[in-house]
């Protein structure tokens, strides 16, 4: 049985990249659907964004833009007390003035650890030296995720 829990959201985000002289305007449309399948979770996420260069003298778009589309499919097996794996498939497409390009689809298998694991505690608290020691010793990986599917970066910034 599959229950659809929809978090179908649209987030138009306009940002000006200050590190580039011209800057960019980036409106984004993010959507996410979560399906619960007997304890397992399947998440489909998409992002559409249009990056337009900003003419800083006129503060208007100059017409030269790039459109990106990113789709991600994530499978998270039912929660367990120990370690499990999460699988992700990602594909990206970029449209520019004279055509488009598509990346090679990426497949990832990430380790899923309980939310209270030492690696997540260190990341949440910003204890970088101890976190680096876990990485060096092979007791943690930059690809580790918690039982809700959050990456280390998402745990730190969220």
The confidence score (pLDDT) of residue 51 equals 81
- Comparing 144 with 78, the larger pLDDT belongs to 144
Does the reported pTM lie above 0.85?
no
In Å, what is the CA distance from 117 to each residue of 17, 42, 81, 104, 156? Answer: 36, 23, 11, 33, 14
* Nearest alpha-carbon partner for 76 in 112, 33, 115: 112
pLDDT digits 0-9 by tens, 7-58: 444 444 444 443 433 556 678 899 999 999 888 889 999 999 888 766 555 5
Q: What letter does residue 128 receive in the DSSP assignment?
A: H
pLDDT at 63: 59
Kindly report the length of the chain.
158
Q: Write out the DSSP string of 43-102.
A: EEEEEEEEEEEEETTTTEEEEEEEEEEEEEEEEEPPP-SS-EEEEEEEEEEEEETTEEEE
Name the CA radius of gyration of the chain, rounded. Answer: 19
Place of tokens 């030269």: 64
The residue among 110 and 4 whose pLDDT is bigger is 110
Beta bridge partners of 86: 110
């Amino acid at each position: 049985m599959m229950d659809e829990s929809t978090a179908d959201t649209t987030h138009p985000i306009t940002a000006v990249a200050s590190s580039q002289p011209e800057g960019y305007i980036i409106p984004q449309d993010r959507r996410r659907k979560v399906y619960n399948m007997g304890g397992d979770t399947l998440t489909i996420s998409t992002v559409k964004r249009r990056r337009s260069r900003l003419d800083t003298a006129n503060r208007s778009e100059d017409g030269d833009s790039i459109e990106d589309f990113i789709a991600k499919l994530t499978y998270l097996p039912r929660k367990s007390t120990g370690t499990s794996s999460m699988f992700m498939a990602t594909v990206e497409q970029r449209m520019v003035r004279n055509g488009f390009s598509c990346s090679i689809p990426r497949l990832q298998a990430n380790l899923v650890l309980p939310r209270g694991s030492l690696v997540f505690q260190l990341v949440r608290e910003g204890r970088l030296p101890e976190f680096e020691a876990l990485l060096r010793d092979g007791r943690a990986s930059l690809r580790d995720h918690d039982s809700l599917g959050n990456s280390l970066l998402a745990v730190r910034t969220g």
